[in-house]
């Protein structure tokens, strides 16, 4: 088949895989190839057991794979053939050297620039899909300028705003698509090419075009604003627990102000995920580098409140259980950093599990998608951990249930039956405020929500 455009994505992860699957579905005339250095990941993308779980992902990959969507480890040839290359590699927080613990580790991203110049025979458009510090396209351009054939590579920024668990919906119906380019003739021309891809299914008014640096920085700022809302409501939850105010009532009352809005005001045991923390740390690092101490301190507090919230949650568990959890079985409901994903990166569940294991509790962890990752995360310290797919079984003989992920299924369990099988007094710590607390209290549980008065029988 003759394809209209040859698009490559370097990086077959949580962003690269779903994004390219949706582009393939919406643009059947384009050939889309996704490459990765990780052979196992590519094998999984080519199998019936995809490497990541996202609602509807299997169905879309099933329709497009082998038709106009291809997963491959042949990076060299794929680069050679591509006209447009999306770079969607990981950009984690640096763990070594200057900027360790704050700055982005750009080694994977930079390697792709060298792969591109070594294997290109024609000019290409390079699209930054990874989240990067502002002004990073400049570094990419400087490396690409060293191409042996003096090829021109136009660098475009097209950050991704999808959230895990709703990736496909977010890609099909995005609030906006952001495309940043140099405001030069070739920059604007390249931007139009990328606009054309999305315009297959995204209304034009939702496709925002800006200069390169605004686009790069908008991505970090969007994540910082989202995380800031969670830290704001979580800080209020601590105050609620001291004053008998109810954080859900406050979130509703405050969120109905249309200037504030109701989303992202669910108090929790803290936010997780691979990006909020790393992107805010990156923003803080950049601000410090420019000598903007107050700006850096301001955003750093978002992270500090998140750490405080997680720690506070664990401390509350231990305090409520008479200051010791030694040899007590505790059922951990969920492990993923949010519902509808198997991803456990920076999951508050991981933090809670590690802290309770340090306190010598016995854990039974139940999660419908994240048990494989949980095993990896707790490797070497899971002598006292049982991994259990059935929440009911996980709770047998447990003294407490700790809800760390807001999976729908946890709302509809038969808690009377569960209560009967648990050790008494039985506790529930609802780190997501998803359960019916009054009903649980009536059953006999001692109930500890976030940011609401606890309901106890003592």
Member of 7, 9, 12, 116 binding ligand NAD (CB under 6 A): 12
Q: Closest distance between ligand NAD and the C-beta of residue 270, in Å? A: 17
d(CA 268, CA 233): 9
Residue at token pair 């955003």: 299
Determine the interface stretch with ligand NAD among 108-116, 141-149, 238-246, 250-258 (rule: CB under 6 A). Answer: 108-116
**What does the alpha-carbon distance between residue 99 and residue 286 come to, in Å, rounded to a whole number?**
10
Q: Which two tokens stand for residue 215?
A: 């686009």
* Partner in contact with 16, chosen from ligand NAD, ligand UGA, none, beta carbon below 5 to 8 Å by kind: ligand NAD
With CB under 5 to 8 Å by kind, the binding choice for 272 among ligand UGA, ligand NAD, none is ligand UGA
Least separation in angstroms between residue 236's CB and ligand NAD is 27
Q: How far is CA 106 from CA 92, 109, 330, in A?
A: 8, 5, 40
Quick note: the x/- pattern for ligand UGA over 140-169, rule CB under 6 A, is --------------------xxxxx-----
CB atoms within 10 A of CB 379: 8
Per DSSP, the three-state class of 395 is helix
Give the C-alpha distances (Å, rounded to integers) separating 208 from 180, 192, 195, 199, 257.
8, 11, 9, 11, 26
* Pair of tokens at residue 304: 């500090």
Residue 246 lies near ligand UGA (rule: CB under 6 A): no
> How far apart, in whole angstroms, are the C-alpha atoms of residue 135 and residue 137?
6
Q: Does 37 bind ligand NAD (CB under 6 A)?
A: yes
- HEC-encoded secondary structure of 175-224: CCEEEEECCCHHHHHHHHHHHHHHCCCCCHHHEEEEEHHHHHHHHHHHHH
Q: Is 216 one of the binding residues for ligand UGA (CB under 6 A)?
A: no
325: left (phi over 0), alpha (psi -120 to 50) or beta: alpha
Minimum gap (Å) between residue 90 Cβ and ligand NAD: 4
143 binds ligand NAD (CB under 6 A): no
Closest listed residue to residue 455, CA positions, set 429, 424, 421, 416: 429
Q: What minimum distance in Å lies between the beta carbon of 202 and ligand NAD?
A: 17
The answer to whether 384 and 372 are in contact (CB under 8 A) is: no
157 binds ligand NAD (CB under 6 A): no
Binding of residue 308 to ligand UGA (CB under 6 A): no
Q: Is 93 in the site for ligand NAD (CB under 6 A)?
A: no
Q: Which residues contact 201 (CB under 8 A, 6 or more apart)?
A: 26, 172
- Rounded Cα–Cα distance for residues 319 and 263 (Å): 32
Using CB under 6 A as the binding rule, whether residue 112 contacts ligand NAD is answered as yes
Q: Does 335 bind ligand UGA (CB under 6 A)?
A: no
Distance, CA of 80 to CA of 147 (rounded, Å): 13
Residue in 9, 27, 240, 275 annotated catalytic: 275
d(CA 258, CA 282) in angstroms, rounded, equals: 30
User: Three-state DSSP class for 127?
Assistant: strand
Q: How many beta carbons lie within 10 A of that of residue 69, not counting itself?
A: 24
**CA–CA separation, 202 and 207 (whole Å):** 7
Binding residue for ligand NAD, selected from 38, 119, 316, 384, defined by CB under 6 A: 38
Query: Does residue 362 bind ligand NAD (CB under 6 A)?
Result: no
- Please list the alpha-helical segments (H only) found in 290-329: 293-320
User: Least distance (Å) from ligand NAD to the CB of residue 212?
Assistant: 16
Q: Which of residues 274-333 bind ligand NAD (CB under 6 A)?
A: 274-275
Please say whether the beta carbons of 439 and 415 come within 8 A: yes
List 70, 71, 86, 271, residue binding ligand UGA (CB under 6 A): 271
State the minimum distance, in angstroms, from the CB of residue 91 to ligand UGA. Answer: 10
Stretch that binds ligand NAD, among 33-41, 307-315, 323-331, 403-411 (CB under 6 A): 33-41
Nearer to ligand NAD, 15 or 371 (CB): 15
Binding of ligand UGA by 310 (CB under 6 A): no
Shortest Cβ distance from residue 163 to ligand UGA (Å)? 3
Residue 91 partner contact from ligand UGA, ligand NAD, none using kind-dependent CB cut-offs of 5 to 8 Å: ligand NAD
Instruction: Indicate whether 228 belongs to the interface with ligand NAD (CB under 6 A).
Output: no
| 320: Cβ contacts below 8 Å, ≥ 6 apart | 427, 429, 446, 448, 454, 456
* Tokens linked to 123: 């000019």
Region of 18-26, 109-117, 258-266, 376-384 interacting with ligand UGA (CB under 6 A)? 258-266
When CB distances are held under 5 to 8 angstroms depending on the partner's kind, the choice from ligand UGA, ligand NAD, none that residue 108 binds is ligand NAD
Q: Is 9 a catalytic residue?
A: no
| Residues within the interface to ligand NAD (CB under 6 A) | 10-16, 35-38, 41, 75, 88-91, 108, 111-112, 115, 130-131, 160, 162, 164, 274-275
Catalytically active residues, by annotation: 275
| Residues within the interface to ligand UGA (CB under 6 A) | 131, 160-164, 223, 226, 230, 264-266, 268, 271-273, 275-276, 337-338
């Amino acid at each position: 088949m003759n394809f209209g455009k040859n698009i490559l994505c370097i990086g077959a992860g949580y962003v690269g895989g779903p994004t390219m699957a949706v582009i393939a579905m919406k643009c059947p005339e384009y050939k889309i190839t996704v490459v990765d250095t990780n052979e196992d990941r590519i094998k999984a993308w080519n199998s019936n057991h995809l490497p990541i779980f996202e609602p509807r992902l299997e169905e879309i990959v099933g329709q497009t794979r082998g038709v106009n969507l291809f997963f491959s480890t042949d990076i060299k040839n794929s680069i050679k053939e591509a006209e447009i290359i999306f770079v969607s590699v990981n950009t984690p927080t640096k763990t070594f050297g200057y900027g360790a613990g704050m700055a982005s580790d750009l080694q994977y991203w930079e390697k792709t620039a060298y792969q591109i110049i070594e294997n290109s025979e024609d000019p290409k458009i390079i699209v930054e899909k990874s989240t990067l510090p502002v002004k990073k396209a400049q570094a990419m351009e400087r490396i690409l300028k060293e191409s042996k054939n003096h090829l021109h590579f136009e660098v475009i920024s097209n950050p991704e705003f999808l959230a895990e668990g709703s990736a496909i919906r977010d890609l099909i119906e995005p609030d906006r698509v952001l495309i940043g380019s140099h405001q030069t003739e070739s920059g604007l021309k390249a931007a139009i090419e990328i606009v054309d891809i999305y315009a297959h299914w995204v209304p034009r008014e939702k496709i925002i075009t800006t200069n390169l640096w605004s686009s790069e920085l908008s991505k970090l700022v969007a994540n910082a604003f989202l995380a800031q809302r969670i830290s704001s409501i979580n800080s209020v939850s601590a105050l609620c627990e001291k004053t008998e105010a109810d954080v859900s009532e406050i979130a509703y009352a405050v969120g109905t102000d249309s200037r504030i809005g109701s989303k992202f005001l669910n108090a929790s045991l803290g936010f997780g995920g691979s990006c909020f923390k790393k992107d805010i740390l990156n923003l803080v690092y950049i601000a410090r580098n420019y000598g903007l101490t107050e700006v850096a301190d301001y955003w750093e507090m978002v992270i500090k409140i998140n750490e405080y919230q997680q720690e506070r949650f664990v401390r509350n568990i231990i305090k409520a259980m008479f200051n010791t959890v030694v040899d007590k079985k505790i059922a951990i409901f969920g492990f993923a950093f949010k519902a509808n994903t198997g991803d456990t990166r920076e999951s508050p569940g991981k933090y809670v599990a590690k802290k309770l294991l340090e306190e010598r509790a016995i854990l039974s962890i139940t999660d419908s998608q994240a048990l494989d990752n949980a095993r990896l995360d707790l490797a070497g310290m899971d002598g006292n951990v049982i991994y259990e797919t059935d929440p009911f079984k996980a709770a047998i003989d447990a003294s407490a249930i700790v809800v760390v992920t807001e999976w729908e299924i946890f709302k509809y369990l038969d808690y009377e039956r569960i209560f009967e099988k648990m050790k008494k007094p039985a506790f529930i710590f609802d780190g997501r405020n998803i359960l019916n607390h009054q009903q649980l209290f009536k059953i006999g549980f001692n109930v500890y929500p976030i940011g609401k008065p606890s309901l106890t029988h003592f």
